[in-house]
């Protein structure tokens, strides 16, 4: 039994050592083996598929970030449904009612952002 614990810790330690060596090695190899051809075109800022223009205080649409943020929120909330689906029979009617309330709150949030016009990608 004691030998099994030692083997487990050896495996964990080996994994830790390899990971500590692997990351700097990959960075080192990438730095020296990857082609580097910097130029004016490659050094400009590129954000959201829109080429930069204007001065340093140019107007940009925050809508893209809000749209991405809403996607992440709803995506993470949907992930919470998977544990419920796994234990559906164990939770019974109380679990079913709770998930209905959860989905209802999600739908209310979706209706709110829809009515605010946030889901319109381009106006």
- Condensed to tens digits (0 to 9), the pLDDT of residues 76-93 reads 888 888 888 888 888 889
Within 34-87, where are the H helices? 63-79, 81-86
Compute CA distances 101 → 80, 104, 108, 110, 122, whole Å. Answer: 13, 5, 10, 14, 32
C-alpha span between 104 and 114 (Å, rounded):
15
Closest CA to 118 of 74, 68, 79, 72: 68
Tell me the pTM.
Answer: 0.45
For position 21, what pLDDT does the model report?
Answer: 95
Question: Domain map of the chain by residue range?
Answer: 60-123
Q: Which residue positions in the chain have pLDDT lower than 50?
A: none
CATH topology of domain 60-123: Methane Monooxygenase Hydroxylase; Chain G, domain 1 (1.20.58)
C-alpha span between 73 and 106 (Å, rounded):
10
């Amino acid at each position: 039994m004691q030998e099994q614990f030692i083997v487990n810790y050896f495996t964990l330690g080996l994994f830790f050592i390899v990971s500590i060596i692997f990351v700097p090695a990959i960075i080192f190899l990438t730095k020296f083996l990857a082609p580097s051809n910097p130029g004016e075109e490659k050094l400009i800022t590129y954000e959201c598929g829109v080429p930069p223009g204007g001065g340093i205080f140019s107007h940009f649409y925050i809508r893209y970030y809000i749209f991405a943020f809403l996607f992440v929120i709803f995506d993470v909330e949907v992930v919470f449904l998977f544990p419920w689906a796994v234990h559906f029979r164990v939770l019974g009617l109380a679990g079913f009612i709770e998930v209905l309330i959860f989905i209802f709150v999600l739908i209310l949030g979706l209706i709110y952002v829809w009515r605010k016009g946030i889901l319109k990608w381009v106006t």
